[in-house]
């Protein structure tokens, strides 16, 4: 055996660097790549820049063809690493450009208007109790109500409740999370953080126009006459 190589010259930038500065490559004689890590990083970044459109299209196509597999994988990942997902959600919440995000949402709604109204119609046919409350009226009331809740306060609320529904204790991801008004706006509640709490969709929807204590009374009445579920 020859002497152990501890450093070598990068084939790209010609610097002499310790082997630890190179990525591993099992097939090569010294077990490391010929380009140093920073050269590799630069190469990847340039490659991504040059092929951005193509790469984005590629991953879109891949998603379309393998939507079920991708979704299953994402679900499994979220179950295995809930902390990572939470951290990512937290970062997203703190850094997202609110206006750009809302604009993106608006564009999506414009593009999917017909599909959405069909879905809503079908939903209202099954749940006539929601048909009465029009979305516009609700939004108008939300805007009129007193109080605001900043992004940091919103996040603090979620953290305080341990990313769980404050009514049924179900663990929540950002996608499943509803911000519930303990006292509904329609009943004079505000948008101040003290009146807000994270809830799961089912609790938020079934609570409807009830206050928190009214809802809890109904819940305990239900549970004393039937066995509680896991949700
Ligand atoms: Zn290099
Ligand atoms: Zn719940």
CATH of the domain at 199: 1.10.30.50
Q: Cα of 59 to ligand 1 centre, how many Å? A: 29
Q: Cα of 41 to ligand 1 centre, how many Å? A: 9
Q: Which two tokens stand for residue 162?
A: 């341990």
The verdict on residue 2 lying in a domain is no
Q: Cα of 215 to ligand 2 centre, how many Å? A: 11
From the CA of 15, which ligand is nearest?
1
Q: Whole-angstrom Cα distance, residue 41 to residue 39?
A: 5
Q: Which two tokens stand for residue 129?
A: 């109790």
Q: Name the residue range of residue 13's domain.
A: 7-50
Same domain, 217 and 150: yes
Q: Which long-range contacts (CB under 8 A, 24 or more apart) does 100-107 make?
A: none
The verdict on residue 97 lying in a domain is yes
Q: What's the whole-model pTM score?
A: 0.49
The verdict on residue 56 lying in a domain is no
Same domain, 164 and 204: yes
The verdict on residue 62 lying in a domain is no
Q: Which two tokens stand for residue 178?
A: 């509803």
Average pLDDT over residues 188-195: 90
- CB count within 10 Å of CB 39 equals 19
Q: Whole-angstrom Cα distance, residue 155 to residue 150?
A: 9
First to last CA, the chain: 63
Q: Cα of 15 to ligand 1 centre, how many Å? A: 6
Secondary structure (3-state) at 99: helix
Condensed to tens digits (0 to 9), the pLDDT of residues 61-117 reads 999 999 999 999 998 998 899 888 888 888 888 887 878 888 888 898 889 888 888
């Amino acid at each position: 055996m020859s002497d152990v190589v501890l450093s070598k010259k990068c084939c790209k930038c010609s610097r002499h660097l310790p082997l630890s500065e190179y990525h591993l490559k099992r097939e090569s004689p010294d077990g490391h790549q010929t380009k140093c890590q920073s050269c590799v990083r630069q190469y990847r970044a340039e490659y991504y820049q040059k092929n951005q459109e193509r790469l984005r299209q590629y991953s879109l196509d891949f998603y379309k063809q393998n939507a079920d597999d991708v979704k299953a994988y994402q679900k499994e990942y979220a179950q295995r690493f809930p902390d990572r997902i939470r951290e990512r959600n937290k970062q997203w919440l703190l850094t997202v450009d609110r206006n750009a995000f809302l604009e993106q949402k608006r564009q999506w709604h414009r593009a999917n208007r017909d599909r959405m109204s069909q879905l809503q119609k079908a939903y209202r046919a099954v749940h006539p109790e929601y048909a009465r409350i029009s979305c516009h009226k609700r939004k108008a009331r939300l805007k009129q109500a007193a109080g605001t809740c900043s992004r940091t306060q919103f996040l603090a609320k979620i953290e305080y409740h341990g990313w769980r529904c404050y009514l049924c204790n179900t663990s929540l991801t950002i996608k499943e999370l509803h911000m519930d008004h303990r006292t509904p706006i329609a009943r004079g509640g505000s948008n101040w953080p003290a009146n807000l709490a994270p809830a799961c969709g089912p609790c938020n929807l079934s609570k409807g126009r009830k206050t928190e204590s009214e809802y809890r009374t109904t819940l305990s009445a239900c549970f004393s006459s039937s066995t509680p579920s896991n949700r």
